[in-house]
Structure 1
Amino acid sequence: MGGPTTILEIAGARLLLDPTFDQPKKYKSGLEKTQAPAFGPDRLGKIDAVLLSHDQHDDNLDDSGRELLKDVPVVLSTPGAHKRLGDHVTGMKSWQTEELKTSRGTIVVTAVPALHGPDGVDRGADGEVTGFVLSGEGVPTTYISGDNASVKVAGQVGDRVKKEIGPIDTAILFAGAARTPAILDNAPLTLTSRNAALVAKDLDPRRVVAVHTDSWNIYSEDMKSLEKAFQDQGIADKLVGLEPDGTPRKLS
């Protein structure tokens, strides 16, 4: 739907990732939204849960997204988000699990590590983020990277998931190589295109859905560079492109 905002329909549930529904605008943080979302919250329909990688940055939770959280029955995020946003948000530590009951059974949601910057950095509370893994009987095992920039961290998550749960069916990777001069001197804060391809090659999911590549001024790489990186790694057939309204995008 633009940026990281994605609707995921899985195992009888409709999950929303990192809600951002503002119109284009500039924020006090210095971030700027450059494109409107595919549609607004009024057309979302029922959402069973929000999976929020973090709440500190406007491109992952904007003003309209914050309002929307009040109407969603389950919001899963970081311990810091729980402190800042209130009891309506469940803060999850890495490898903690929560269960979502659906019409088809149970989705097990596992919070997994994510690093919002290069390997070796410690950004403190401002950089606290989480990824998620969805699993369960009849549930395609799905890895959601969140704002992770580290190939190493993603690989460690993949190794543990494949050992304890099984093969990963789908990886939803937050790419775009987000950069800002105010943080780590423009170092990438999310996966570069090359690193997204390396993560995909290592995790070896059936398919990869790339998000977090458009609609904000801090994304330095896009779907075209992702396509090339996946082609260079010989895994172009795994990459699924989506238009902002969710329809498949024809890849070159």
Structure 2
Amino acid sequence: MKKSLLYIFALLAAAGISIGIPACSKMGHAPSIEESTMFEKAPNFQNGTFFNENPVNMTVEGFTFAKAINFFFDLSRTPDKKLPYYPLTKDSFSTTPAELQVAWLGHSSMILDIDGVRLLIDPVFNNASPVPLTVNRFQPSPIKRKELPEVDAVIISHDHYDHLEMSTIKYLSPKVKRFIVPLGVGSHLRKWGCKSEQIVELNWNESITIRDVEIIAAPAQHFSGRGLGDRFKTLWASFVFKGKQHRAYYSGDGGYDGRFKEIGQKYGPFDLTMIESGAYDKGWKDVHMMPEESVQAHMELGGKFMLPVHWGAYDLAFHQWDEPIRRVSNLAAEQGIKLLTPQMGELCMPGQSTHAAWWEPAKQQELAVAN
């Protein structure tokens, strides 16, 4: 009886998603035909869609209906209790951005200071899905939107829901001068009230400079889409932050390919790499890296310090919530990599930070009491 009810619930949820999503404003708006014609000269755009440099298998291997049901109802992958974190407010940040500092807000949301420029990266504060209860956020952000410090720009790597949130964009629109996004993503932002003059859309290897920091959209092996028929309509990217004194790299989302060595040779070495290290599975390894590949990417980039991201806030894969950081931590120790593992909200300065395994149960309890 219980099994039957779960199947019925799943079918109703699927029906609700298929009916409700097209009318949902959270979807944003894919580029119009007129806008798409502007991309026709781009070498990575053809017949109305963007494509990867290498062929990508978009078929999820080994995924069954039964496995999908288990994914929605099995909570054993999430923490047993609230994780320790550092609460942040505007006063947590200096008026002048630091030379190199990062605050990890969970998953892929970050506040990065580099050479006097402050950037807000992939800010998402709520559910990483247009449909409530379909994605479990087990750890709230350490900062509220109203407590965000003033930033020079917002960086969006691609239009998936765990990287681009409508409510946050609407909140930030009257407060932020620039939104720097891959080609086509600006269409979503305009739908949500951003002005065209606020939006900078970049193709791979295009850039914009803010004061002395050049921000470069670099290739990534991934995909895009927020609805049932807009896959590949907007571009996805990684980002290089190139200052006069420091250099940082953010991978965005993507599978492992030959681009990291090329990016490292062209723009590196990097003082800091922020590398996707979670929500992986062998069934979709072409578009999300496995832990061994994340560590390899950091080394090929010529990174000095590695900050693993894309984990620790959402239940997006079949692995345990802390498996990504445990695997990456073990691999980094074997390779002699300087790993940054701050708690969410902890202000982290490469070179002054230490690697602490706060995710271990005993350590969690100790830190929770201290915080």
Q: Structure 1 length normalisation: TM-score?
A: 0.81
Aligned to 2:66: none
Give yes or no for contact 2:185–2:234 (8 Å, CA) kept in 1: no
Counterpart residue identity of residue 205, structure 1: G
Task: Identify which of 308, 325, 331 aligns with 1:229.
Answer: 331
Deviation at 1:5, TM superposition (A): 0.4
| Residues 78 and 3 of structure 1: CA distance in aligned 2, closer, same or farther (over 3 Å) | same
Deviation at 1:27, TM superposition (A): 3.5
Counterpart residue identity of residue 164, structure 2: L
Distance 1:178 1:27 in 2: 21
Deviation at 1:126, TM superposition (A): 5.8
Give yes or no for contact 1:148–1:190 (8 Å, CA) kept in 2: yes
| Residues 190 and 65 of structure 1: CA distance in aligned 2, closer, same or farther (over 3 Å) | farther
Deviation at 1:227, TM superposition (A): 0.3
Deviation at 1:189, TM superposition (A): 3.2
Aligned to 1:133: 240
Percent identity, aligned pairs only, is 21
| Residues 216 and 127 of structure 1: CA distance in aligned 2, closer, same or farther (over 3 Å) | farther
Aligned to 1:246: 346
Can you list the C-alpha shifts for 1:51-102, whole angstroms capped at 9, x where unaligned? 11012x111122432223412111111111012322232110011110112x
SS at match of 2:162: coil
Deviation at 1:46, TM superposition (A): 0.8
Give yes or no for contact 1:116–1:127 (8 Å, CA) kept in 2: no
| Residues 79 and 115 of structure 1: CA distance in aligned 2, closer, same or farther (over 3 Å) | same
| Residues 28 and 186 of structure 1: CA distance in aligned 2, closer, same or farther (over 3 Å) | farther
Give yes or no for contact 1:81–1:89 (8 Å, CA) kept in 2: no
| Residues 96 and 60 of structure 1: CA distance in aligned 2, closer, same or farther (over 3 Å) | same
Counterpart residue identity of residue 209, structure 2: E
Do structure 1's residue 82 and structure 2's residue 202 form an aligned pair?
A: no
Distance 1:10 1:224 in 2: 28
Distance 1:25 1:108 in 2: 29
Q: Runs of 4+ in structure 1 displaced over 6 angstroms?
A: none
Task: Identify which of 174, 179, 182 aligns with 2:276.
Answer: 174
| Residues 196 and 100 of structure 1: CA distance in aligned 2, closer, same or farther (over 3 Å) | same
Distance 1:44 1:111 in 2: 24
| Residues 178 and 40 of structure 1: CA distance in aligned 2, closer, same or farther (over 3 Å) | farther
Aligned to 2:258: 152
SS at match of 1:244: coil
Larger relative contact order (Cα-Cα within 8 Å, sequence gap ≥ 6)? 2
SS at match of 2:240: strand
Counterpart residue identity of residue 96, structure 1: E
Gap regions ≥5 residues in structure 2: 1-104, 191-195, 224-229, 349-354, 359-371
Distance 2:258 2:328 in 1: 19
Gap regions ≥5 residues in structure 1: 118-122
Give yes or no for contact 2:140–2:313 (8 Å, CA) kept in 1: yes
Do structure 1's residue 37 and structure 2's residue 145 form an aligned pair?
A: no
Distance 1:111 1:26 in 2: 25
SS at match of 1:125: coil
Can you list the C-alpha shifts for 1:150-181, whole angstroms capped at 9, x where unaligned? 2422222222224xxxx2221111220445xx
Deviation at 1:186, TM superposition (A): 4.1
SS at match of 1:206: strand
Aligned to 2:155: 51
Greater strand fraction, Structure 1 or Structure 2: 1
Deviation at 1:131, TM superposition (A): 0.9
* Residues 70-219 of structure 1 aligned to structure 2 (within 5 Å): 70=173, 71-86=175-190, 87=196, 88-101=198-211, 106-116=212-222, 125=232, 128-138=235-245, 140-162=246-268, 167-178=269-280, 185-187=283-285, 189-219=287-317
Give yes or no for contact 2:214–2:242 (8 Å, CA) kept in 1: yes
